[in-house]
Structure 1
Amino acid sequence: MSKFFRNNKLIVILCAIIVFIALIGVSLRSQSQSYVEQYVGDTVAFGQKAVSYPVHFITGSINNIFSNGDSKNQSNKIKQLEAENERLKSENKKYKKELDIEDISKFEPISSTVLSRNPDQWMNTLVINQGKKDGIKNNMAVMTSDGLVGRISKVNQFSSQVDLISTNTRANRLSVNIQHDDKNVFGLIDHYDSKTEELVISDINNKDSVKKGDKVVTSGLADQLPTGLYIGEVSKVENDEYGLSKEVRVKTGTDLADLSHVYVAKRNPNTVPDTESGEN
């Protein structure tokens, strides 16, 4: 009898594994996320934040224990407080600046906090604390007051994943316009150079005039992002290795390596032109 139950238990486990693998396959083929995936995504995002707070608290407490009674450490504490005060002043100026955002004045900006960011995907993705319940949708632009950061790639109920403009994937090649005098030069961001911390636009026609300092904005073509969102400015222009076209390097307006607070550009239907009514 016990042997019978053991055999049945093995069959149940095997069936569960098969069903689990099948669900993973369905999820990979589908671009939209199921409620189960959204729940898991929200749980992981908030779990990472919940873990980080106790770690910082314990670390701070241990430092305080070892620093008590030491006059030198007391002096260091004063310096730390002064540094913290300067940091808060800097953040205050930054937030004041963000209250007057010109680039997304045509949208209803949704203020969001960065919940998590994996070290091995630091320049590729991050997770924010706003999701479907807050009106977030796929392909919405994500910005700071200094320019475009990326776009929404996955939406959970209470959190969302952002693909940064520095993500090196073919699917993430962003179409842009280089504003030279009164002309727009069209191009595609080919990749992000992590060594120079610049975006690289390749295959620019040699006949097109581009120079250092030209502004780079979204073109609004093919990638569902709005037109004219500021990305950065041209830092260098050079011929490709064959001399057949130009390679343009762009310094981003936003420091993509240091992000804690962003805005999601939610479309305001009253300000969307008829030609753009099909965009999200």
Structure 2
Amino acid sequence: MDFFKKHALVVLTTTGIFLALVFYSLNIPHNREANAIERTALAIFGPVLKPASVISHFFENVWDGYINLVGVHKENQKLRGMIKELNTRIIADNEALQENQRLSRLLEMKESVKEPTLSASVVGEDFSSWFRTLVINRGSSSGIREGMAVIGADGVVGQIVKVSVDVSRVLLLTDHASGIAATIQRSRARGVVKGKGEGLCTLEFTTREEDVKIGDQVVASGIGGVFLKGTPIGEVTMVKRGEFGIFQTVTIRPAVNISHLEEVFVVLRGGV
């Protein structure tokens, strides 16, 4: 009895382990079937475990979906950046292509001009109700003087009317104050091209007997020494002969699209 009291903990522990081993060994032949304790536990906790499993799967799917959305968002941002970069490159390439085309046409015009010329870029414009002028990025420091002719790839643009050190103002051929001695290329009829406004010109001082037709090309006659003979001015778009008077009314559309000008040439001769 004293032995049992002294070693009660050891005896109880050993007995518990022994009983557990016996219970486990008895349950081995029936490991594919639930015993009474397992069946009771399943009956009690089964209704609770099923909703818990559904909720667990729900949150697992939500988490997986969130992770996928984060990946898709990052991929979209990356693709948007690539598209933006490609669009920027396309725009730059198109600008370079158009500039190359414009400069190629200017070079062709320059080769046809026997006088020395200076290229310039349009940096400003004034299309008010009173004046039709452009501002170019060349001035007296580049040898520009008032009165010099300005031409584009397609023909006459206008004449230098004001010069500073680095910029100059060009009076356009469509301005009312402009006057260019001109010739109808086909019939050699002469007149003076005056600005009419609204992007048009008129051929004045051409008598009713002169042969002028719609579609005729108008070129500089060279009289006055400002514009080189044969430089294109525009095309006849309307001819009107009144019953009275000795002159006919001739409307001309300029060869140069003034509103789209970006580069021009200044003919370096004459001027004051």
Q: Could you give the per-residue CA deviations for residues 131-187 of structure 1, whole angstroms, max 9, x where no partner exists? A: 112111111110111101001111212221111111122xx222211122xx41111
Supply the AA of the counterpart residue of 2:141. K
Q: Could you give the per-residue CA deviations for residues 59-117 of structure 1, whole angstroms, max 9, x where no partner exists? A: xxxxxxxxx96988986775565355334312211212222226752111101111222
> 1:175 maps to what in 2?
181
> 1:19 maps to what in 2?
none
SS where residue 231 of structure 1 aligns?
Answer: strand
The residue correspondences of 1:49-68 to structure 2 (distance < 5 A) are: none
Shift of 1:202: 3.3
The residue correspondences of 1:121-270 to structure 2 (distance < 5 A) are: 124-169=132-177, 172-180=178-186, 183-194=187-198, 197-222=199-224, 224-240=226-242, 242=244, 244-267=246-269
Q: Are the counterparts in 2 of residues 191 and 201 from structure 1 also a CA contact under 8 Å? A: no
CA distance in 2, matches of 1:75, 1:238: 56
Runs of 5+ unmatched residues, structure 2: 1-75
Runs of 5+ unmatched residues, structure 1: 1-67, 268-277
Q: Are the counterparts in 2 of residues 219 and 227 from structure 1 also a CA contact under 8 Å? A: yes
Q: Are the counterparts in 2 of residues 193 and 200 from structure 1 also a CA contact under 8 Å? A: no
Q: Relative to structure 1, is the Cα distance of residues 254 and 156 closer, same or farther in structure 2, using a 3 angstrom cutoff?
A: same
The residue correspondences of 1:92-131 to structure 2 (distance < 5 A) are: 92-101=100-109, 104-118=112-126, 120=128, 124-131=132-139
Count of aligned pairs: 197
CA distance in 1, matches of 2:195, 2:128: 17
SS where residue 184 of structure 1 aligns?
Answer: coil
Supply the AA of the counterpart residue of 2:196. Y
Q: Relative to structure 1, is the Cα distance of residues 265 and 89 closer, same or farther in structure 2, using a 3 angstrom cutoff?
A: same
RMSD between superposed Cα atoms in Å: 3.2
CA distance in 2, matches of 1:117, 1:221: 28
SS where residue 226 of structure 1 aligns?
Answer: coil
Q: Could you give the per-residue CA deviations for residues 213-248 of structure 1, whole angstroms, max 9, x where no partner exists? A: 222112233474333221112222222474753211
Q: Are the counterparts in 1 of residues 145 and 163 from structure 2 also a CA contact under 8 Å? A: yes
Q: Are the counterparts in 2 of residues 104 and 265 from structure 1 also a CA contact under 8 Å? A: no
Q: Relative to structure 1, is the Cα distance of residues 174 and 257 closer, same or farther in structure 2, using a 3 angstrom cutoff?
A: same
SS where residue 205 of structure 1 aligns?
Answer: coil
> 1:48 maps to what in 2?
none
CA distance in 1, matches of 2:271, 2:161: 15
After TM superposition, the score normalised by the length of structure 1 is: 0.60
SS where residue 260 of structure 2 aligns?
Answer: coil
SS where residue 149 of structure 1 aligns?
Answer: strand
Q: Are the counterparts in 2 of residues 123 and 256 from structure 1 also a CA contact under 8 Å? A: no
Shift of 1:209: 0.5
Q: Are the counterparts in 2 of residues 175 and 223 from structure 1 also a CA contact under 8 Å? A: no
Q: Percent identity?
A: 27
